[in-house]
Chain A
Amino acid sequence: MEIVVKITGAVLILMASSYLALEINKGMTKELEQLKGLYNIMLKLKSELYYLNNPLPECFLHLSKQVDFPFDKWFYEMYESMSKEPDETFGDIWVRCTTNLIDNSAMSIEDVEGLFELKDKLGCMDREVQEKAIDYFLIQAEEMRKQLFLEYSQRKKVIITLCAFVGLMTLILLF
């Protein structure tokens, strides 16, 4: 009977430590995927602005229908805030909605710092300034994604090893 309990305990410990490793890795993978998604979305926004010449609220509404969570929510919130009776500047709306996006996503503020800088550039009269600001953000985002990809590849290995080690140590202690 005792051996059965020990084996069950051992299996549970191994499962828990593996699950922990997988969850942490999943979070990191999701963060990278969302950064990639953000990059693609900003490219779409750029084309809405430059090729279709749509006003920002219209761009946000179109994009909210084309992208997945959490970006759909982000864009729809932007559209809604800009369509109601205006009581906030674009900069205020952008910062508020982008902060909400980060809260709802796996990304951190550090990952998308450049996104906040767009608050003064999007919607401005000078198209060149606007375009350059988006391009600059795209470069920053891609760099950040590459850097995180390398960092997370190593971190994932360490986490898997650590979790396996913790699991095995617990087993040794149990038996």
Chain B
Amino acid sequence: MCRKQEILRILSAKLREIVSRLSIDFDKLSELRIRIDEPFIVVIDGREHFVSGEGMLITDKTEAYIIKARDIKETMEYISNYSLYAYEDEIKHGFITVKGGHRVGLAGKVVMENGVIKSIKHISFINIRMSHEKKGCGKKVLPYICDNETIYHTLIISPPGCGKTTLLRDIVRLISDGDENRRGVNVGVVDERSELGAAYMGVPQNDIGIRTDVLDCCPKAEGMLMLIRSMSPVVIAVDEIGKREDIDAIAYVMNCGCQMIATVHGNSVEDIKNKPVLRKLVEEKMFRRFIVLSKDKGPGNIESVFDEMGNVLWK
């Protein structure tokens, strides 16, 4: 099923009609913003556009199609396969992953129970984020992560929206699949927010390699320990570490002889050193490679690669 079809099948009849008329490259479509009583917005190639009822991209918001309550209700029915109750856990986290790996973010009235988020009701805001798989983007850094049969503990540092998850996904795929020079190894992925594999009904929608096992929607710290106990991975990959328990679990993984590849929010290695929880990762030289991404030349731009001593390996 092509991207256009994957998106059309989760939209309400009216929105489907509008989107199907759009004459755009669906590979460049990154977001659809559906907000009740507000104009219908799409984001293409990083630029926001209003959409008219006739399926035209326009700049005047007064001529844009205004989202109705029925559009939201119907879209939610299709997104959840007519079974919202079955997605209770996902909704609690604020998103549902649909076929194709696209992520549907939800907002509305949050229902609390004993101080914990129980659900979201009266969903009035939907953000459909298209899944972007960039196969091959990890090839550039792979020689710095893998040296013959050795894989180094690697930390990818990047500000939000610079493509760290995309890069991690591709590195996982390359390590898992292997090539003519390097044999593939078992990789365990703890996909807490379902972004790496983007599993839909347990099946990863993104290509994450033939030797990859995914623990979907599982807290990182617990997931890493579970994978070690059950799947004997050579490499464990996690996205967006940050909590103290994540750091403890990473130390445990490294002590078990597994290699660790992780991502973290940050601008530079120095920035990580200034964060109380993450400082340990750099100061104790837990990671041996640091890949820093930046937005300077657009998302996915690899700025530099360092080793644990701070030597620049690539810039």
Contacts and interface: CB of A to CB of B under 8 A. Distances in A.
Interface stretch (B76-84, B181-189, B215-223): B76-84
Interface string B67-97: 0000001100110111111101001000000
B85 A124 contact: yes
Q: Is the interface of B mostly helix, strand, loop or mixed?
A: helix
A114 interface: no
Interface in A113-129: 123-127
Given A85-B9, A86-B9, A90-B77, A125 B82 contact: no
Contact of B86 (A54, A90, A126): A54
B13 A87 contact: yes
Q: Is the interface of A mostly helix, strand, loop or mixed?
A: loop
Contact of B82 (A53, A85, A87, A90): A90
Q: How large is the interface on A (under 10, 10 to 19, 20 to 34, 35 or more residues)?
A: 10 to 19
A121 B193 CA distance: 29
A48 B38 CA distance: 38
Interface in B1-49: 8-9, 13
A125 B88 CA distance: 7
Interface residues of B, number: 18
Contacts of A54: 83, 86
A125 B121 contact: yes
A12 to B, nearest CB: 55
A130 interface: yes
Contact of B81 (A55, A85, A89, A125): A55
Contacts of A82: 81-82
B81 A56 contact: yes
Interface centre among A86, A87, A89 (most CB of B within 10 A): A86
A68 to B, nearest CB: 25
B119 interface: yes
Nearest to A53: B86
B125 to A, nearest CB: 15
A70 interface: no
A127 B91 CA distance: 13
Given A87-B13, A89-B74, A123-B77, A130 B85 contact: yes
Given A123-B77, A127-B88, A56 B9 contact: no
A49 interface: yes
Given A86-B9, A125-B91, A125-B119, A55 B86 contact: yes
Contacts of A90: 77, 82
Given A87-B13, A89-B74, A56 B82 contact: yes
Contact of B85 (A57, A93, A127): A127
Contacts of B91: 125
Contacts of A57: 81-83
A53 B88 CA distance: 10
A155 B105 CA distance: 59
Contact of A56 (B74, B78, B83, B121): B83
B85 to A, nearest CB: 5
Nearest to B86: A55
Nearest to A54: B86
A127 B86 CA distance: 9
A124 B85 CA distance: 6
Contacts of A53: 85-86
B32 to A, nearest CB: 17
Contacts of B81: 55-57, 82
Nearest to A81: B82
B83 A55 contact: yes
Nearest to A90: B82
A124 B123 CA distance: 12
A14 to B, nearest CB: 55
Interface of A: 49, 53-57, 82, 85-87, 89-90, 93, 123-127, 130
Given A126-B121, A127-B85, 7 more contacts: A49-B85, A53-B86, A55-B81, A56-B82, A85-B8, A89-B73, A125-B119
Interface of B: 8-9, 13, 73-74, 77-78, 80-86, 88, 91, 119, 121
9 contacts: A55-B82, A56-B86, A85-B8, A86-B77, A90-B82, A123-B85, A125-B85, A125-B121, A127-B88
Task: Kindly list the 10 A-B residue pairs having the minimum CB-CB distance in the complex, ordered from nearest.
Answer: A55-B83, A125-B84, A55-B86, A86-B78, A123-B82, A56-B83, A90-B82, A55-B81, A56-B82, A127-B85
